[in-house]
Structure 1
Amino acid sequence: MAAEHTPDGMEAREDRADAEEGLAANRALWDDLAEFHGTDPADRSYDVESFLAGGQTLRGLERELAGDVADRDLLHLHCHFGMDTLNWARLGARATGVDFSPKAIRRARELAERAGLEAEFVEADAQRLPDALAGRFDVVVATYGVLSWIGDLDAWMGGAAAALRPGGRLVLVDLHPVFQTVLTFDPFVADWPYGGGAPQHDAMTGTYAHADAPTEPKKSTQYPYSVGEIVTAAAAAGLVVERLGEHTETETDGRHILPQGPDGLYRFPFSDTYLPILYSLSAVLPAPVI
């Protein structure tokens, strides 16, 4: 006799189908962005010519958290078209970049050749990292615009932890969930949930690197996670969180909606104080107890 399909089973299949549809739409979007980013003089985020001339794209925060990466194996998740991965290589790391966009990986390999730098680039979904990456790395890094694209936070954290050697470190720097709730600062409009992980469907025009980019609207799906959910997922993956930072002063707001101060830094004014723009997490995979 055929097994009955329970409502819960049907709902689970629908959730999986929705997740796969969202992943496919996001990959198509990032394929387009990978073709465009760094190709326009008005690009606000990717100065390829400066990079090729030796310019460093990494910010002080992630470099501080990662520490000295010379002669260390470093995995960069969500590497896009490779500039940051190759900058880790410039600092002496044996760098590997992962991205789910085949066009991003192709451009990353081309950029490595142009720059004369060595790095491995792997096309893969960060929620389903290849077994070949397991246990290979001293440092796993993911920065700026990361977890909002991840439908399965536990799978992402589990993959990052699995890629580490015992004693290895995850360095995560991303937009703060409070800041992500804000659509515009002036006037102040908040239109995104704080946490919960429910998929948020949208049609994206332009890009964060170039607001006036001549792009057609593209479907996207993003996911809001609270700080508590992120830390809990790290702990569930077996990582020991050593440092959690919430940063009210940054070199860039990542979304180009905040005012820039006379000192060149961005802040998120709120009453007579400031709200965080970024958070940073540093977590270690402990060695097994013998």
Structure 2
Amino acid sequence: MINNSVNTEDAAEAAALNRAMWETRARVHGSTATDRFYDVESFVAGRGTLHRLERELAGDVADKDLLHLQCHFGMDTLSWARLGARVTGVDFSPTAVERARRLAERTGLPATFVEADTQRLPDSLAGRFDLAVATYGVLCWIGDLDAWMRGAAMALRPGGSLVLVDLHPALQTVATLEPLVVDWPYGGGEPQRDTVTGTYADPGLGLPAQDVVEYPHSIGEVVTAAATAGLTVQHLGEHVAAELDPRGILPQGPDGLYRLPFGDSHLPVLYSLVARSPQPHTTS
């Protein structure tokens, strides 16, 4: 549960806290026998990790240059490589980047991994990519949403697209369903300080308590940031069913999909955004 809203949280301190937490997760994810989320050995043997939603939005990625933002230790990045993309993954965790490079070696898949904050992408990535992709649990870690969108736009070639799939703000507000506890702002971007003691990948794993800072962003704020960065929004989807339960709180239906019940209906659990970098003007 969120402890308090910190309006004056120093950005550098917040980034250091979050990096420390993701360093811990990068060390343990896929490394324990009880990890229910990552299965490195089956991945090395050929299992893919991408879901239908992001695959459909990205389209055919064969022979395209793809930038994966906040790539963790590279399983999704390398799954895009298996579909034929030339991939570069970016993450701010040194441990995650090193593990991603080792995983690429094990799979024999060509990939580049860069250690960088996605709010401050290096100039060396500018204008190099047909696609920038970010999925699941992305923007809640981003304090400067405008900088994140500017970085994604900077990395794209003219006509390139950003594909973003993330947890819907409606789901983010919910702490528990039974009883219903709502303890998170819908948007506004104000830093929210919390203490975490575990990980979604292995809830029973005993990890030391670590402070983190997260940021709530509304759908409107995300779309506005994309537009302000010069991107043209081509698709905005809100999805009431998902193939995964990113928060670990949703009931699973007979069809295997997860939903957020709301009376006799459902609230969206994911949203998706596709935004394109403008094509250069041509003169006749």
Indicate the TM-score class for this superposition, using the shorter chain for normalisation. Answer: over 0.9
Post-superposition shift, 1:41? 2.7
Task: Name 2:3's counterpart in structure 1.
Answer: none
Task: Name 1:248's counterpart in structure 2.
Answer: 240
Which amino acid is the alignment partner of residue 155 of structure 2?
A
Task: Name 1:258's counterpart in structure 2.
Answer: 250
Task: Name 1:197's counterpart in structure 2.
Answer: 189
Which amino acid is the alignment partner of residue 124 of structure 2?
A
Pairing 1:160–2:160 present: no
- C-alpha distance in structure 1 between counterparts of 2:7 and 2:189, whole Å: 13
Deviations 1:137-194 (A, max 9, x none): 0000000000000010000000000000000000000000010000011111010001
The number of residues matched between the two structures is 277
Task: Name 1:81's counterpart in structure 2.
Answer: 73
Q: Identity rate of aligned residues, in percent? A: 67
Paired residue for 2:213, among 221, 239, 254?
Answer: 221
- C-alpha distance in structure 2 between counterparts of 1:22 and 1:272, whole Å: 40
Which amino acid is the alignment partner of residue 177 of structure 1?
P
Deviations 1:250-275 (A, max 9, x none): 11120110111111110111011100
Task: Name 2:96's counterpart in structure 1.
Answer: 104
Q: Quick one: higher RCO (CA 8 Å, sep 6+), 1 or 2?
A: 2
- C-alpha distance in structure 1 between counterparts of 2:118 and 2:24, whole Å: 19
- Unpaired runs of 5+ residues, structure 2, are 1-5
Pairing 1:137–2:129 present: yes
Task: Please identify runs of 4+ aligned residues in structure 1 that moved more than 2 A.
Answer: 14-17
- Which deviates further from its counterpart, 78-87 or 210-219? 210-219
Post-superposition shift, 1:288? 2.6
Task: Name 2:56's counterpart in structure 1.
Answer: 64
Deviations 1:188-242 (A, max 9, x none): 1010001000000011111011111110101100000000000000000000000
Task: Name 1:9's counterpart in structure 2.
Answer: none
- Which deviates further from its counterpart, 16-25 or 101-110? 16-25
Paired residue for 2:28, among 12, 36, 45?
Answer: 36
- Which deviates further from its counterpart, 37-46 or 59-68? 37-46
- C-alpha distance in structure 1 between counterparts of 2:52 and 2:185, whole Å: 29
Post-superposition shift, 1:15? 8.0
Q: CA RMSD in A?
A: 1.3
TM-score (norm 2): 0.95
Which amino acid is the alignment partner of residue 105 of structure 1?
V
Deviations 1:2-49 (A, max 9, x none): xxxxxxxxxxxx989711000000001000000000112322221111
Post-superposition shift, 1:289? 2.4
The 1:15/1:256 distance shift into structure 2, 3 A limit, reads closer
- Unpaired runs of 5+ residues, structure 1, are 1-13
SS of alignment partner, residue 97 of structure 1: strand
- Higher gyration radius (CA): 1
Paired residue for 1:184, among 173, 176, 182?
Answer: 176
SS of alignment partner, residue 197 of structure 1: coil
- C-alpha distance in structure 2 between counterparts of 1:216 and 1:209, whole Å: 15
Which amino acid is the alignment partner of residue 135 of structure 1?
G
Which amino acid is the alignment partner of residue 289 of structure 1?
H
Pairing 1:273–2:281 present: no
Say if 2:35 and 2:201, in contact at 8 Å, map to a contact too.
yes
TM-score (norm 1): 0.94
Pairing 1:124–2:130 present: no
